[in-house]
Amino acid sequence: MTKINIDGKELDVPAEYTLLQACEEAGAEVPRFCYHERLSIAGNCRMCLVEVKGGPPKPTASCAMAVRDLRPGPNGEAPVVLTNSPMARKARAGVMEFLLINHPLDCPICDQGGECDLQDQAMAYGVDSSRYHENKRAVEDKYLGPLVKTSMNRCIHCTRCVRFTAEVAGTGDMGAIGRGEDMEITTYLETAMGSELQGNVADLCPVGALLPKPQSFRARPWELAKTQSIDVMDALGSNIRVDSRGREVIRILPRVNDAVNEEWISDKTRQIVDGLKTQRLDRPYLRKNGRLTPVSWNEAFAAIAAKVKAASPGKIGAIAGDLASVEDMFALQSLMQALGSPNLDCRQDGSRLDPKYGRASYLFNATVAGIDEADSLLIVGSNPRKEAPVLNARIRKRWLRGDFAVGLIGQQADLTYSYKYMGAGPDSLDPQTCKPPEGSKKPMLILGAGALARPDGAAVLARALEVAKAAGAITPEWNGFCVLHTAASRVGGLDLGFVPGEGGLDATAMAKGGVDVLFNLGADEIDIAPGAFVIYQGTHGDRGAHRADVILPGAAYVEKSGTYVNTEGRVQMADRASFPPGDAREDWAVLRALSDVLGKRLPFDTLNALRAALYKAHPHFAALDLIQKGSLGDIPAGSPDKTAFVNAIDDFYLTNPIARASAVMAECSALAKGRVAQAAE
Amino acid sequence: MTVRRLAEKQPASFEFTAENKAWAEKEIAKYPQGRQASAVIPLLWRAQAQNDYWVTKPAIEKIAEMLGMPYIRVLEIATFYSMFNLEPVGRHFIQLCGTTPCELRGANAIKDVCRSRIGDQRHVTPDGNFSWLEVECLGACCNAPMVQINDDYYEDLTPENFNKLLDDLAAGRPVQKGSQVGRISSEPEPAKGDTLLDPALYDGSVVGAWRKRFDESMAAAAAAEKK
């Protein structure tokens, strides 16, 4: 720790801190454009100039000067930093004047207006008139893909976007060509960016040069109601903020949570917005003479009641989809229990994970933040870049720090970091050959959902645990055995025990015709054979709705308050940002109303009552934002067959019904497919 | 400087010759593992020399692949340095210095010669012999005005000797590199004789003349104060 005096306040800070970090510690605000705490230091905007005594006798860029670089005074006084002295203020005003020389005065038509760093700081440091009488610089706008719109006249060359794509995203899409006044930010010959995290560059841009394309000219930031929510596009449970105007969701932005998503979100999380408005189920439907016909809630319920009463409890089943909240699944589980059916499953992909193997057998035990501590990694049957791009960025961050051996068993892919390829199938998963490097204290093993969703999934799980144990990944202090789920609802469902009871059928058996009446709670990734009477409760007219005999319209994840448990086992609650369209209702309420008609009234009338019952049955759901560590049960050892692992996700952009309804995601998917075809040539 | 972009017409492919490839591999091996990108400027330079003094898109991509860099990183470098030509140039590519010392010594007249004989900048004559570009200081200010043609400097130019130089180059006749007025490197011009032996340098009338002026003005001031 080193002493430093900031604006007359003396404090102790670590010597490796930059002056800017020290100033923040002291509570002094320093303006900045190019500096970003999660990116490397560029030091090129010069906005963070401060006056120092004990350093160079000129204004100093505080982001690029370390505390240890300053000398103490003649009598050992701490070095002095002045953030608000006349010299610092004048220097910043000068920098601002230079920045504004070429910046257009188009704030009234700029989407960044109202949340623009340059606008805000010009209020503090700008002069009221210009001394510049030459022509302003004009720059051609660039095409960067379907997600980011450019207005390059506004660019101030902070290079945050270039550093983000090079460092965090790892694709190196963007760069600065030319030099001096002719410097331009672009991609290689204006090709679309290839990262799944590219939307973040629009957040990083401190001015209005890079903007989210789908949201252009849609809303002003001050018109939007901001709701804290949780993302369900993957199992990471990224913390998001949903901005809505009236009933319409305008955009989705990340929230900072260092334990989960830092401050990034994937493009699917961000640009799913238009999918929330198209293909929506907004009223109940009933299949009459082979055609789905709009009906009233009562008629739909009556049709269900007739079928349910005619079926024996063993012939009724329920499958929960990937986007269901814990509350919805709890309501459906309670209903199935009341009906006396053991046929329940939340694993529509056929995953062999089971709560009876212990909670630690299906969690990302090391936690996302634990990736930073790990010192070697084996990925089995997974492509984290597609299954959880933000988590993949975290792995890359760890890899960039060095001394991090990554091995991969499964399908080869560009993960944005280098790895040793160790085989394609379970036969490569051998405790002898999969040893981490000598001296690895915290090895980690990521087991993908694809490796478990196969008939020998339980044997793969047992083998992977064996490998992890042999590698020393499971000790009392460190558990490096990590299951990477792809479905947001999965851990919540397994925690609830939403799996077949004694003698019950699993999702695959139910879909193949094992039941006469099937409740389908938003499971769209499973083919249901003809025959059964299917009640589809969901949000979008997707595969599940096409197969349905009754459709009960539900609420999408931004339209209800719900609990989600992410792949680490972290319980997080999302608030409601908007309302379901038309007659659609929150799913637990639909199930509650239906239970009344079926004569099995569920014992809760409000969401709070439901939660009280839920917390009574499963107390850990009440511990929001926390992870309850799990234990490991007995897993029968088997021998997995030799079939190669197939990743759970093939097309990152089209993994769920909301994404498939989104035109933006369809465009991204087509572009990504084109890139793959081009690379194969 | 203007905005520099890749030429519109690009060849289909680029491949180093066997000799250059061996040279490039030696160059890359100079850098430690993981730092191969350091070889990007030498490789671009050699690619340009091999390809009639301009860098093509396939060459940029080839070099990026050789060094394991994203394409944009190599493009950044190729567009940053004006020594990389991004479009075809003449057989004799004239880089004309237009910075202050050359301009004071008559670079504008040389520029006029270029304009009348060749045409606008970055334009190749129909016979493919010449193209020209105004560049910043090339560091031969003592012999201003000067141009660089391909790899060589031609100095002490006048419109007459520059015209003759271009005639000779076009006809393929041998030409004098360096100064066109016969001096060696930047020695004093022959007409002026041995400058350093000029007696005026040593009698106090040129060097140190300020001291005499200073003494005189001090004396005048002292006299004025006495009165």
In this predicted structure, the answer to whether residue B1 has a pLDDT above a threshold of 60 is no
CA distance A119 to A33: 11
| Residue-wise pLDDT tens digits, A590-638 | 999 999 999 999 999 999 999 999 999 999 999 999 999 989 988 888 8
pLDDT of residue A283: 95
* Residue A508: alpha-carbon gap to chain centroid: 28
Between B71, B72, B80, which is nearest A178 by CB?
B80
Chain A residues close to B73, C-beta within 8 Å: 172, 175
CA distance B34 to A554: 53
Distance from CA of B183 to the nearest CA of A (A): 37
In this predicted structure, the answer to whether residue A1 has a pLDDT above a threshold of 90 is no
B97: CATH: 3.40.30.10
In this predicted structure, the answer to whether residue B190 has a pLDDT above a threshold of 70 is no
In this predicted structure, the answer to whether residue B2 has a pLDDT above a threshold of 90 is no
In a domain, B8, yes or no: no
CB A354 within 8 A of CB A346: no
CB A179 within 8 A of CB A198: no
| Residue-wise pLDDT tens digits, B30-63 | 999 989 999 999 999 999 999 999 999 999 999 9
Between A171, A175, A180, which is nearest B76 by CB?
A175
CB A168 within 8 A of CB A397: yes
CA distance A439 to A143: 48
In this predicted structure, the answer to whether residue A96 has a pLDDT above a threshold of 90 is yes
In a domain, B193, yes or no: no
In a domain, B6, yes or no: no
| pTM of the complete model | 0.92
Suggest the residue from A177, A399, A404 to mutate for an interface test with chain B (most B CBs closer than 10 A): A177
The reply to whether ipTM tops 0.85 is yes
Across the range A111-134, mean pLDDT stands at 91
Residues B75 and B114 in one domain: no
Residues B63 and B101 in one domain: no
Between A175, A180, A182, which is nearest B72 by CB?
A175
CB A557 within 8 A of CB A229: yes
Measuring CA to CA, how many Å separate A135 from each of A103, A138, A393, A442? 11, 9, 42, 59
Domains contained in chain B, number: 2
In this predicted structure, the answer to whether residue A483 has a pLDDT above a threshold of 60 is yes
In a domain, B86, yes or no: no
In this predicted structure, the answer to whether residue A460 has a pLDDT above a threshold of 70 is yes
Distance from CA of A415 to the nearest CA of B (A): 15
Contacts of A521 (CB under 8 A, 6+ apart): A318, A319, A320, A321, A324, A328, A329, A332, A537, A538, A587
Q: Given an 8 Å threshold on Cβ–Cβ distance, is B76 in contact with A189? A: no
| Residue-wise pLDDT tens digits, A142-198 | 999 999 999 999 999 999 999 999 999 999 999 999 998 899 999 999 999 999 999
- DSSP states of A435-463 as a string? PPPTT-SSEEEEEEHHHHSSTTHHHHHHH
Q: Given an 8 Å threshold on Cβ–Cβ distance, is A179 in contact with B75? A: no
Which two three-digit tokens encode residue B159? 């419109």
Which two three-digit tokens encode residue B208? 């140190």
Q: Given an 8 Å threshold on Cβ–Cβ distance, is A184 in contact with B71? A: no
Residues B154 and B106 in one domain: yes
B57 and A CB contact within 8 Å: yes
The chain A residue lying nearest B4, using CA atoms, is: A178
Across the range B76-93, mean pLDDT stands at 94
Between B4, B72, B79, which is nearest A172 by CB?
B72
Residues B103 and B154 in one domain: yes
Q: Given an 8 Å threshold on Cβ–Cβ distance, is A177 in contact with B70? A: no
| Residue-wise pLDDT tens digits, A301-314 | 999 999 999 999 99
N-term to C-term CA, chain B: 62
* Residue A557: alpha-carbon gap to chain centroid: 14
In this predicted structure, the answer to whether residue A76 has a pLDDT above a threshold of 90 is no
pLDDT of residue A94: 94
Q: Lowest-pLDDT range, A299-303, A459-463, A481-485, B206-210?
A: B206-210
Higher pLDDT, A675 or A540: A540
Distance from CA of A495 to the nearest CA of B (A): 44
> Residues of chain A with pLDDT > 90: what percent?
89
pLDDT of residue A675: 84
Among B80, B101, B121, give the residue marking a domain's end: B80
B3 and A CB contact within 8 Å: yes
In this predicted structure, the answer to whether residue A300 has a pLDDT above a threshold of 80 is yes
pLDDT interval class at B193 (50, 70, 90): low
Question: How many beta carbons lie within 10 A of that of residue A263, not counting itself?
Answer: 19
| Residue-wise pLDDT tens digits, A226-257 | 999 999 999 999 999 999 999 999 999 999 99
Residues B75 and B39 in one domain: yes
Residues B106 and B171 in one domain: yes
pLDDT of residue A455: 92
> Residues of chain A with pLDDT > 70: what percent?
100
The chain A residue lying nearest B82, using CA atoms, is: A178
In a domain, B215, yes or no: no
Domain boundaries, position B108: 92-179
pLDDT of residue A19: 94
| Residue-wise pLDDT tens digits, B99-156 | 999 999 999 999 999 999 999 999 999 999 999 999 999 999 999 999 999 999 999 9
Amino acid at B163: N
B2 and A CB contact within 8 Å: yes
B48: CATH: 1.10.10.1590
Across the range B181-208, mean pLDDT stands at 78
The chain B residue lying nearest A170, using CA atoms, is: B70
pLDDT of residue A193: 93
In a domain, B207, yes or no: no
Residues B55 and B118 in one domain: no
| Residue-wise pLDDT tens digits, A527-558 | 999 999 999 999 999 999 999 999 999 999 99
Residues B172 and B138 in one domain: yes
Chain B residues close to A189, C-beta within 8 Å: 6, 57, 71, 75
Residues B50 and B127 in one domain: no
Helices B40-50, B57-67: inter-axial angle, 10-degree rounding? 140
Across the range A558-576, mean pLDDT stands at 96
CA distance A600 to A474: 45
Residues B57 and B100 in one domain: no
Among B26, B55, B80, give the residue marking a domain's end: B80
Q: What is the mean pLDDT of chain A?
A: 94
Residues B107 and B44 in one domain: no
Between B1, B57, B69, which is nearest A180 by CB?
B1
In a domain, B3, yes or no: no
What is the count of residue pairs from A and B with beta carbons less than 8 Å apart? 45
In a domain, B224, yes or no: no
